[in-house]
Amino acid sequence: MILGGGMAGLTTAWELTSGAWRDRFESVTVYQRGWRLGGKGASSRGEHGRVEEHGLHVLLGYYDATFRVLREVYGELDRATTDPGCPISTWRDAFVPSGDVGLVDVGGPAGPEAFVTRFTGDGRLPGEPGAEDRPLRPLDVAVRGLRLLADFHGVTGARARPTEPYLSTSPRPRGAAAVDPGLAVRAGALTSLAALTVLAERAAALLGSDDLDEAWSAPLTTTLVTVRDELRATVRASPAAWRTWELVDLVSTTLLGMLADGLLSGQGYERIDHLDYREWLALHGAAPTTLDSPVVRGMYDLALAYEGGDRSRPRFAAGLGLQLAGRMLFDAKGAVFWRMQAGMGDVVFAPLYQALVRRGVRFRFFRRLDQVHLGPDGRRVASVDLARQADLAPGRVDYEPLVRHHGLPCWPAGPVVSQLDGDPGPDLETHPAGGAAAPGVGRELLEAGRDFDVAVLAVSLGMVPHVAAELLDRIPAWGAMCREVATVATMSAQLWLEQPESALGWQGPAGVTLSGFGDTFDTWASMPHLLVREDWPAPAPQGLAYFCGTMPDVPDHATGERHVRQTLTRFLDDQVRVLWPAAADGAGFRWELLHDGQGRVGPDRLDAQYLRANTDPSDRYVQSLPGSGRHRMAPGATGVANLVVAGDWTACGLDAGCLEAAVRSGVLAARAVRAATLGGPAGGDVP
């Protein structure tokens, strides 16, 4: 029994029904409130078939577990044969690599300035067999960081084409370009150091140790300090190279910090997780400009790392920050980003649902989890209390949740009422704040031994106090986890535009994801490629933009919705011109640029857009604050014999709020279920 149909719960179901395990379980059943799957990643189709998301979602090139599962799903569906009319047939149709990453320099001489970093791709594909089980060790980060520094400064020709990440003052990624001679300082020393470190890495591998002996550490530290200081002095005379210097300073300081803190001597990233990432960089000599550089700010923005939604309180565990930066820079396959070619619900959760149904997994929609009850000894789940939100229409056996748009299976914006015995109303996915939940049409009590053997609690962390109060009261580790692992409310906006971004003054490439600007909506994604998947009548929108950011806690959802609208109005009036100079004039944002079939004027045209205040406990983003990782619970280490947990809030080897963490947690949860029922491998181990 799996309680929750987000990515972690669905991955658990996928793993339990994969390979030799497929026939070992009598049944796998997923219970889901409302009419759709996906959790925080759910999307649906609204008016004119427009894609409506919970927020801004993109897959990263190091998401090996995620891509492995999705490649298996699309391969098993074989849509080219079974659904030839479907426009997205394979996983390569669903996800397209993108190497352009936008950042904003908020301290530019003429004010905030957007620019683009191009990360060159390679021929690798994410999700190859075994890739998810290969950890990125601190020593790996050091070796690749030194190689990156050597590449930065080892150019000798007058012109060169970049083969590694670079930063530019232009919003357009550069091709062949002249090389600043100042950036060739210490090239020979860095190249030699990179070679020596590779040699040390291989020697450590032969000896079966991650240890980098002090004999190697001392010359590395001395040379890195010298390189960093000389480059800092050199680049000050070359303002055009300053952004490149900030990245060099970040990489150099990271390597120095790893050496100083023993991370290259067999220690894990968690050794420094009690510190904030910026705090750790400062301790090891990072320049103040580096600490507030677009790259560092962009990391905090992408991780929604603002405690309580307050941008004056950026906090992010240093070890995790180091791991994520290493994976993004050095472990991406194919590209840094892989962009979805329809809504996340369309290309992730609809095919996953279809493939699971073919495997025999049962889905019980309209089942809201109300409470998990422990037995008298407090060490086993005795029963699970569900509210039945709707009944099927007479004669129906199963609810069929998907609809078609241009031949693509999608989730509708509400339940298909024709399949139900009455309209269940609008609040199927909302947890009441301070009040009683809607009673629904009935109740179901699932009992251990009769209805299930093992329960997998796969709800969001924000819901745990509401549905597992007995566990928090009786098992100290549960209470500590819910107190110490923080969540934050988020907000998002999707804007359909009357003109393409190029007409609004954006000079960069199309399809950019950009972070590091603004004090509210700090991340933007250019999404016009989705317009062809929607059903707009003429004249159709010409542009589509997604924005997101954190928001402070509010007393209720209605207040949250007002906050998002007011914040977006100020953002468009005051800040969006950094991206689109022609979108604003002296009076503020040009509201006529928002597509509105009803012809409203001014800010009222926001009524035709899609805004979300993600304040529901299920929708809150799980953060990675300093010192909180030790309170996360491994999927198979719940303290309850017949209970497993799954979600991006668990200890899964990647303690970050992201799809990859949810998938990795689901893999571990399936192992824990096997161990509890069939004697399979333990589920508490982190891959």
DSSP state of 439: -
Average pLDDT per block of 10 residues along the chain, 687 residues long = 97 93 79 97 96 94 97 98 97 95 79 81 90 81 67 39 40 44 42 45 47 56 66 56 74 83 78 96 91 90 93 94 86 93 98 97 96 95 97 96 97 97 91 68 96 96 96 97 97 98 93 88 95 96 97 94 97 94 94 96 98 96 96 97 97 94 97 83 46
Say what the pLDDT of residue 319 is: 93
Please state whether the peptide bond connecting residue 294 to the residue before it is cis, i.e. omega within 30 degrees of 0. no
Per-position b or e across 254-279, b if 16+ CB within 10 A of its CB: bbbbbbebebbbebebeebbbbbbbe
The DSSP H or E segment spanning 544 is strand 543-551
Tokens matching residue 659: 């799809």
pLDDT value for 171: 43
Instruction: Quote the pLDDT of residue 182.
Output: 41
pTM, to two decimals: 0.89
Per-residue pLDDT, 236: 55
Q: How far apart are CA 202 and CA 267, in angstroms?
A: 17
At what angle are helices 187-206 and 138-153 packed, to 10 degrees? 160
- What Å distances lie between residue 588 and 440, 571, 585, 603, CA to CA? 46, 10, 5, 11
Measured CA distances, 586 to 573, 589, 590 (Å)? 10, 9, 10
Residue 249 has what pLDDT? 81
**CA 21 – CA 6 distance, rounded (Å):** 22
